[in-house]
Chain A
Amino acid sequence: AQKVTQAQTEISVVEKEDVTLDCVYETRDTTYYLFWYKQPPSGELVFLIRRNSFDEQNEISGRYSWNFQKSTSSFNFTITASQVVDSAVYFCALRNTDKLIFGTGTRLQVFP
């Protein structure tokens, strides 16, 4: 079975704090694709990053960084020096051959 687990339902931080959103996945496929999307209150899912199973390099993009570890089936997302504009629901997703399988999302609230 394919599954994505985001155990953190909601996280609240104060601006400038660092925050890590956890994502654990299950799949039997040897080749798979992982994604993070952000959903602000407007509702649109905004693509953040894609990672292929054969590329375990971690990635940094500005204040965002991602830690992909196949050994623990995790694909965690860290926001450094969080800002109020980062407040949103963040979804981790696993892509198999035909569809995206989403986790339940983590609601991040960043307070000024």
Chain B
Amino acid sequence: KAGVTQTPRYLIKTRGQQVTLSCSPISGHRSVSWYQQTPGQGLQFLFEYFSETQRNKGNFPGRFSGRQFSNSRSEMNVSTLELGDSALYLCASSLGRGPDTQYFGPGTRLTVL
């Protein structure tokens, strides 16, 4: 079975721009979660989508948003980029049944200049 894929792997943007990251879950998985990883804050939960609905949300500003499509693929959008948004963004997929195991993709490394 193919793993979780994320595109693009690397992005460079400038302050004020917006960015969209994409995640394709493992086949059969219906839940997609997003995490931000920075040296200062570590790994932090952004949000989770299940069956095209946001099921849970972390403590991030409204500039961070996401969506999920009927094929379970998910996108994450960050608007009005700030320098502090530079991070590794990790997507994880799971079956979506209760607290099941999350499997992570390789991440998208975003650099904001």
Contacts and interface: CB of A to CB of B under 8 A. Distances in A.
Contacts, number: 48
Interface residues of B, number: 21
Contacts of B33: 99-100
B105 interface: yes
Interface string B75-92: 000000000000010101
B102 A100 contact: yes
B42 A97 contact: no
Interface of A: 33, 35, 37, 42-47, 50, 91, 95-105
Interface of B: 33, 35, 42-43, 45, 48, 55-56, 58, 88, 90, 92, 99, 101-107, 109
Given A37-B104, A42-B106, A43-B107, 5 more contacts: A43-B109, A44-B104, A44-B106, A44-B107, A98-B45
